[in-house]
Amino acid sequence: MSELVISKVDKRFGKTVALDDVSLRIKSGEFICLLGSSGCGKTTLLRIIAGLEQSDSGELQLDGESLTRLASHKRNIGMVFQSLALFPHLNVSRNIAYGLKMRGVDAETTKTRVEELLKLTGLTGFGARAVTSLSGGQKQRVAIARALALEPRLFLMDEPFSALDAGLRDHLQQEVKKLQKQLGVTTIFVTHDQSEAMALADRIVILNNGKIEQAGSPKEVYQQPSSRFVAEFIGANNLFDVTIESGAVRFKEYNLGSSIVIGTDLRGTQTLTVRPETITLLPPGNSSGNSRGNSSGNSGAFLQGAVVMQRTIGALIEHDIDIDGHLIKQTMLQNNDYEVSVGDTVGLSWDWSQAWFLPGESG
């Protein structure tokens, strides 16, 4: 169980800024997901933590001990690579035992530890198998067992499931989460897959252009995004540039309601985010203020538009609704009482407690 403190870390590759003043405190036993699109700096940060890259400036401390100048092989950090990086010339047991052998652990202890890890990762009986003969999921388990063999202070995983099919990925995600809880090892998991981050993390750190955009629990980053990037990056979202004046919240010429009723003291131009699943579709006639400019409160439809796209995704139906050229996404369960078709005019409303004004986005 180890606490990692990252302070003001910068990294450039030529003219490209990979990390820009990154600071983060990772609590002991925490499961952190570094989430971002390609090139955002998440893998660079992981490699700096592992000692495979040197930061240009900044400091890393693990349980108060500085890692900044410590060589990778002396850090005792277990890492699972994107390519898994198993040793193709060694069998499963020898792959797992490699780190123990490097540390000079005696043969009997090594054998016992390897057996433990094989059992822990569900690979009992696979010890003598060549790693090249294993399936994708089995290889993942070997890579995890190998990284955990030395009882590392930190456990790093760099997009380990990116090459797997969805079913196996879900299964391994659950196993990793269970294993991490069981061992209590502080874990940093890099992914570009937001659903993977949501499923695994205690805390998600969202990176963009080498900077941390937001760090928070999956619920926080989903429901209370700190920036337009996070709001658009995490899940589907509807962003409205609204104006709050004289106690009224307006979007284009629609009056969305009273700011007192909505419960905000913000003023001026703001960005409002509303998740598609929190929007309710209403028949156009079933609204207290569906015509332009005269919505009065938090009941009934605030907006009105035409359904331009409808598609079924499993149990959900997704709609695109055109409101004066502004496309709104809405999702609802298939067994909803109110059914609409493409071309229908519908009213839209939502629960204001589920809506969120982006901080620092006022105009």
Partner 1 sequence: MNLFVPRVLGMTAFGILCVFFLVPLAFMVVVSFYKADPMAFYQETFTWENYQKFFSGFYLNVTLRTLWTTALGAVLVVILAFTAMLAIAELSRKWQLFWILVLLSLMCLSEVIVGFSWLILLSESAGIPRLLGALGFWDNPRSLSPSFGAMMIGLVMLGFSVVSLILYPQVAGRDKSIEEAAQTLGTAPHLVTLYVTLPIFMQTLIALTLTMFVYLLGVFVMPIMLGRPRDWTMTVMISDKALGDANLPLGSALAVIMLIITGVILLISLLASRKRTA
89: contact with partner 1 by CB under 8 A: yes
Asked if 72 touches partner 1 (CB under 8 A), the answer is: yes
Q: How far is the CB of 156 from partner 1 (least distance, A)?
A: 8
Asked if 308 interacts with partner 1 (CB under 8 A), we say no
Residue 141 found at the interface with partner 1 (CB under 8 A): no
- Which residues in 91-110 contact partner 1 (CB under 8 A)? 98-99, 102-103
**Residue 120 found at the interface with partner 1 (CB under 8 A):** no
Taking CB under 8 A as the criterion, which residues in 183-212 touch partner 1?
Answer: none
Please name the amino acid found at residue 343: G
Q: Does 323 bind partner 1 (CB under 8 A)?
A: no
Contact 287, 304 (CB under 8 A): yes
Provide the H-helix boundaries in the chain: 42-50, 92-102, 107-120, 136-148, 166-183, 194-200, 218-223, 228-233, 259-262
Residue 103 CB, nearest approach to partner 1 (Å): 5
Q: How many CB atoms neighbour CB 331 within 10 A? A: 15
Q: Which two tokens stand for residue 126?
A: 């696979």
Asked if 87 interacts with partner 1 (CB under 8 A), we say yes
Among 52, 199, 248, 306, binds partner 1 (CB under 8 A): 52
Place of tokens 């809506």: 355
- Binding of partner 1 by 54 (CB under 8 A): no
- 233-261 as b/e, with b when 16 or more CB fall inside 10 Å? bbbebbbbebebeeebbbbbebbbbbbee
Nearest to 116 by CA among 140, 96, 90, 136: 96
Assess 171 for contact with partner 1 (CB under 8 A).
no
The one-letter code for the residue type at 71 is A
Is 19 in contact with 41 (CB distance < 8 Å)? Answer: yes
- The single residue among 7, 61, 68, 82 that binds partner 1, judged by CB under 8 A, is 82
Closest CB to partner 1 among 23 and 109? Answer: 109
Q: Which is nearer to partner 1, 43 or 273 (CB)?
A: 43
Count of residues interacting with partner 1 (CB under 8 A): 28
Compute the least distance from the CB of residue 311 to partner 1, in Å: 39
Taking the least distance from each CB to partner 1, the nearer of 71 and 313 is: 71
DSSP 103: T
Strand-strand pairing, 186-191 and 154-158: parallel
Binding pattern for the stretch 214-253 against partner 1, x by CB under 8 A and - elsewhere: ----------------------------------------
Contact 11, 53 (CB under 8 A): yes
Binding residues for partner 1 (CB under 8 A): 50-52, 71-79, 81-83, 85-89, 98-99, 102-103, 146-147, 149-150
